[in-house]
Amino acid sequence: MTVRNYFPGNEITLEQVDDGLSRKVAAHNDNLMIVEVHFVAGTTAPLHSHEHEQITYVISGKFEFTVGDETYIISAGDSLYKQPNIIHGATCLETGTLLDVFTPHREDFL
């Protein structure tokens, strides 16, 4: 496999995932992935879990996140860690953008 080191932003398309939810899969390899996720206010990412470790950084907007048994209201500059297989989900309270980092990469996103 050839390793790709540069992922120009202007070559990455914004993919509509659901009503009010779109994403750009940016730099990635087998072990790591970064994804820009855009939410419209009122959009919900339902509770779910996956085998990946995940860190979410809030670029803009305001969100209510549930991680395990805890609920947090987070906004620009805040971040969350989600260990493998933990139940988590979010509701967008104010239109915004998240930056998600996954390890290993999410094959289902490619």
User: Given this model, what pLDDT does residue 2 score?
Assistant: 79
**What is the value of pTM for the model shown?**
0.94
Q: Is residue 14 part of a domain?
A: no
Can you give the CATH number for the domain in which 82 is found? 2.60.120.10
Burial 44-80 (b: 16+ CB within 10 A, else e): ebeeeeeebbbebbbeebbbebbbeeeeeebeeeeeb
User: Given this model, what pLDDT does residue 9 score?
Assistant: 94
Q: Is residue 23 part of a domain?
A: no
Residues of the chain with pLDDT under 50: none
Instruction: Identify the domain containing residue 93 by its residue range.
Output: 31-109
**How many domains, the chain?**
1
Q: Is residue 18 part of a domain?
A: no
Q: Is residue 21 part of a domain?
A: no
